[in-house]
């Protein structure tokens, strides 16, 4: 992933002001920042859901605007909200995703099994807790078998088991030579998973304070400008 001078303006307000960042293969990078700092905007731009106002970004050397369709096939984007259909069952939600991705339904059962929702697969999502919905969102992410992960607050609403599950998926992608950009409020749940961490302040990449970085167990802390 290569972001160069990326800027995004909503109306008169610049949310991102020249973000430059590189995430290499086999690397997971943490993106810290306060609410409204622009973390989600970066992920949505990389997920081809928003076009940047200025600057460029490439994923696997594909331009996110010009080659948006090809980029979508490589990227797995886990949004802050699960984006599930409440009146469909867990299985129906994943079968819908499988239809959209051109996959067989056997992969649906495997994904449900991996996130531990096989026993409630026939239940409507409306009755699921926030944590279960998050797990179902992760199951949909697994279904895509993405090379690139864009994770927006991936640990929210997850219990310890769910955090381990998220980390194992993140580890699998990174070990397979993929890359991940993970937007976080706090580093603790991602301990040992991130190669480095950057911080977003006022729409710009800033150094991470040593106190904050101390939450991270392994990997060098660095900032890319």
Partner 1 sequence: MAWRDDWRRVRAIARKDVTTELRAKAGFNSVASLGVTILILLGLALGPDAQALRDAAVGAVWLALLFSGVLAFNRSFQVELESGALEPLLQYPGPRWTIFAGKLLGNLIFLTLMVTIVVAVGVVLFSVRIPSRWPTLLGVLALGVVGLVVLGTFYASMASRSRAREVLLPLLLFPMLVPVLVAATTASKALLGADLMHDADAWIRLLAAYDVIFLIATFLAFEHVIEA
Smallest distance from partner 1 to CB 135, Å = 15
Site for partner 1 in 72-131 (CB under 8 A): 72-73, 75, 77, 79, 81-88, 92, 96-97, 99-102, 124
Return the HEC string of 169-225.
HHHHHHHCCCEEEEEECCCHHHCCCCCEEEEEECCEEECCCHHHHCCCCCCCCCCCC
Site size with partner 1, rule: CB under 8 A = 30
Q: Cα(23)–Cα(129) distance, rounded to whole angstroms?
A: 34
Smallest distance from partner 1 to CB 50, Å = 5
47 in contact with partner 1 (CB under 8 A): yes
Q: Which residue in the set 23, 32, 33, 48 belongs to the binding site for partner 1 (CB under 8 A)?
A: 48
DSSP string, 134-169: HHHHHHHHHHT--SEEEEESTTTT--HHHHHHHHHH
Smallest distance from partner 1 to CB 203, Å = 18
Catalog residues that contact partner 1 under the rule CB under 8 A: 44, 47-51, 69-70, 72-73, 75, 77, 79, 81-88, 92, 96-97, 99-102, 124, 140
């Amino acid at each position: 992933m290569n972001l160069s001078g990326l800027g995004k303006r909503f109306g008169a307000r610049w949310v991102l002001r020249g973000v430059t960042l590189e995430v290499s293969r086999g690397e997971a990078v943490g993106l810290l920042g306060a609410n409204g700092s622009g973390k989600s905007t970066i992920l949505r731009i990389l997920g081809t859901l928003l076009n940047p106002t200025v600057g460029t970004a490439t994923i696997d050397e594909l331009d996110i605007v010009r080659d948006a369709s090809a980029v979508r096939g490589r990227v797995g984007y886990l949004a802050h909200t699960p984006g599930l259909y409440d009146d469909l069952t867990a299985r129906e939600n994943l079968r819908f995703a499988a239809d959209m991705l051109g996959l067989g339904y056997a992969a649906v059962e495997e994904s449900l099994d991996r996130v531990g929702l096989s026993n409630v697969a026939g239940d409507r999502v409306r009755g699921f807790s926030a944590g279960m919905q998050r797990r179902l969102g992760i199951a949909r992410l697994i279904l895509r078998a993405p090379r690139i992960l864009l994770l927006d607050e991936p640990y929210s609403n997850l219990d310890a088991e769910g955090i381990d599950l998220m980390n194992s998926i993140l580890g699998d992608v990174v070990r397979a030579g993929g890359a991940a950009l993970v937007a976080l409020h706090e580093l603790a749940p991602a301990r040992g998973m991130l190669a480095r961490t950057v911080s977003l302040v006022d729409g710009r990449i800033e150094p991470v304070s040593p106190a904050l970085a101390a939450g991270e167990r392994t990997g060098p802390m660095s900032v890319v400008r």
